[in-house]
Amino acid sequence: MAEADNMTQSPVLDALINRASMPPRLFSDKGPPRKDIEKMLEAAMSAPDHGAVRPWRFHIIEGDARHKLGELFAEVLLDNDPFAPTAAIEKAKGRPLRAPVIVTVCAKVDPSRAPKIPVMEQVVTAAAAMEHVVIAAQAMGYGAIILTGPNAQAGKVRSAFGLNRDDELLGFVYIGCADEPAPPKERPDARDFTSDWTG
């Protein structure tokens, strides 16, 4: 029974159960030092990876590079709406400035490994690595949130991160410090989504 009690008090289990996205409005200007970012990425390396394809690719964006990403977002907006109002353009430019650090996570897919290792499985592997980054950031005392939106699918953005047709841009992980914890979120009961399969 003592072993079971220890499991319920596991810091890892607590981090998983209590994971919460940090709203960008709560980030301060202070971000994690590079050594802490590297530790988060080290945690990503333990994601399940059938066949050791290692499809994950991480792009760290901080400092002035965030402004360049914002300019790219504005270009995408104008490509889709050449008459976009100035306020919308400025909002697009400002999106990457909402956190001091962004880690863009991509799945660099190897179609030649299919069907033994399907493309979907490779994408899931990279997504698991992305979640490890988020959990590690929170465990280290930082806030984090995964953001996507139209920019994650825009050809111009995908090209800027060196992606091919089969690759995926999974999300932009915004990371930073916050003066208050992420707001609690009501979780569904896992039993509502679970059944015993008996064949």
How confident is the model over 19-52, as pLDDT tens digits?
A: 999 999 999 999 999 999 999 999 999 999 999 9
**Domain presence at residue 13:** no
**Domain presence at residue 49:** yes
Do 144 and 175 meet the contact criterion of CB atoms below 8 Å apart? yes
* pLDDT at residue 12, rounded to an integer: 87
**Domain presence at residue 79:** no
DSSP-assigned letters across all residues of 143-186: EEEEE-SGGGT-HHHHHHTT--TT-EEEEEEEEE-BSSPPPP-P
Range of the domain at 43: 24-62+99-181
CATH, residue 127: 3.40.109.10
**Domain presence at residue 33:** yes
Do 96 and 84 meet the contact criterion of CB atoms below 8 Å apart? no
**Domain presence at residue 191:** no
Q: How do residues 49-80 score in pLDDT, each as one tens digit? A: 999 999 999 999 999 999 999 999 999 999 99
Measured distance CA(147)–CA(134) in Å, rounded: 12
Give the number of domains in the chain: 1
**Domain presence at residue 80:** no
**Domain presence at residue 50:** yes
* pLDDT at residue 1, rounded to an integer: 47
More confident residue, 182 or 71: 71
130 CB-contact burial (10 Å; exposed 0-12 / middle 13-18 / buried 19+): buried
C-alpha to C-alpha distances, 174 to 28, 31, 59, 73, 170, nearest whole angstrom = 12, 10, 12, 15, 13
**Domain presence at residue 196:** no
Do 119 and 111 meet the contact criterion of CB atoms below 8 Å apart? yes
Measured distance CA(54)–CA(51) in Å, rounded: 8
Measured distance CA(182)–CA(145) in Å, rounded: 10
pTM, 2 dp: 0.92
Q: Radius of gyration of the chain from Cα atoms?
A: 19
Whether residue 7 has pLDDT greater than 60: no
* pLDDT at residue 184, rounded to an integer: 84
